[in-house]
Amino acid sequence: MTTSTSRPIVITMGDPSGVGPEVTVKALAALDAAEWQDFAVVGDAAVLGRALAASGLDLPLVAPGGEGIAVIDVPVEGLPDRFGVLSPRCGEAAYQYIRTAVDWATTGRAAGIVTAPINKKALNSAGHHYDGHTGLLAHLTGQKASWMLLASERLNVIHVSTHVSLRTAIDRAKPERVLETIRIGHRHLQRMGIAAPRIAVAGINPHCGENGLFGTEDDEFLAPAVAAARAEGVDVVGPISADTVFHRAFNGAFDLVVAQYHDQGHIPIKLVAFDTAVNVSLGLPIDRSSVDHGTAFDIAGTGRANHINMLSALSYARSLAASREETTAV
């Protein structure tokens, strides 16, 4: 990581009972101390201290502006005193960390957000009824919709829908939503330095319906969206059968694949980049990247959590922050 930012990137530590605090402190420990000034952790200082102890680390946790790892302390009463507990209080805490981070980002105090994992059951048990970070961030920033991009070195995937049932996902794959997904992905890759992104749209049905033999959704809904995007000058093709398009993209044929639903996009990414893929929210007025794994309550507090994914998320966040500052300066 070499890209410096003029404002800190805030890291929400996620569910206090999960591995989020641990992967956060481990990732920061892997950086040079001079790089700590580029980040601030939103969470609970006491929980972070326990994560440091569990990881065998001794790092200075300080208030923003001090010499060490800056912590924006957001106290929430009733948190468990140990890791690995599914708790509504932890869900409330995770919500408050995210809300605070969004406030920092929307008011210009932060260059972007990196999120550690939250537990959807805990979040909803606390009365915050969202499908996860993507929907919650859209709500907190006043957006009607947002998109999930999974980014890795050799495969990038953007989703038409994510945390809904498969039946609902098929219903949502309408030309307007697919077209907007293509546009959002196209603009993001241009922002990240690819002047003319090559995009492929994955089909819904086996073999894209085989001319109606296995369904007509690909011809009725996806093909018109692709045609409309091409008319706008986007280099996009499809629909292409999902059993081949990800392999082709991984081998360099495309810069981005538009997946129609959660597992269609997540399975190939997690197969080829399980530890390094970054979850990025698009369509928001702020930048957010995240680890692409869950709270892992079963190993939380054991010191065994792998922080490599968090390092990837921090690196991507720095690239986002740098590109935003370059755009603002123009």
pLDDT tens by residue, 113-144: 999 999 999 999 999 999 888 889 999 999 98
For 24, the domain range is 1-145+282-330
308 is a domain residue: yes
DSSP string of 194-213?
Answer: -SS--EEEE-SSGGGGTTBT
The answer on 267 and 197 residing in a single domain is yes
The pLDDT value given to residue 304: 94
Reduced to 3 states, what is the DSSP secondary structure of residue 214? coil
The answer on 122 and 59 residing in a single domain is yes
The pLDDT value given to residue 131: 83
ω into 239 cis (within 30 of 0): yes
The pLDDT value given to residue 66: 86
The answer on 257 and 163 residing in a single domain is yes
Q: Rounded to an integer, what distance in angstroms lies between the CA atom of residue 293 and that of residue 19?
A: 10
> Whole-prediction pTM value?
0.88
DSSP β-ladder status, 147-151 and 156-159? antiparallel
277 is a domain residue: no
- Of 272, 290, 318, at which residue does a domain stop? 272
Q: In this predicted model, what pLDDT tens digit does every residue of 63-118 receive, in sequence order?
A: 998 889 999 999 999 999 999 999 999 999 999 999 999 999 999 999 999 999 99
The pLDDT value given to residue 4: 54
The answer on 137 and 178 residing in a single domain is no
The pLDDT value given to residue 328: 47
The answer on 139 and 40 residing in a single domain is yes
- Of 246, 272, 298, at which residue does a domain stop? 272
- Of 229, 252, 272, at which residue does a domain stop? 272
Contact 202, 239 (CB under 8 A): yes
Q: In this predicted model, what pLDDT tens digit does every residue of 168-224 receive, in sequence order?
A: 999 999 999 999 999 999 999 999 999 999 999 999 998 987 888 888 899 999 999
Q: In this predicted model, what pLDDT tens digit does every residue of 300-320 receive, in sequence order?
A: 999 999 999 999 999 999 999
Please check the confidence at residue 254 and state whether its pLDDT lies above 80. yes
The answer on 118 and 31 residing in a single domain is yes
CA angle 82, 276, 166 (to 5 degrees): 85
- In CATH, what number is assigned to the domain containing residue 10? 3.40.718.10
The answer on 159 and 118 residing in a single domain is no
The answer on 56 and 139 residing in a single domain is yes
The pLDDT value given to residue 221: 95
The answer on 132 and 2 residing in a single domain is yes
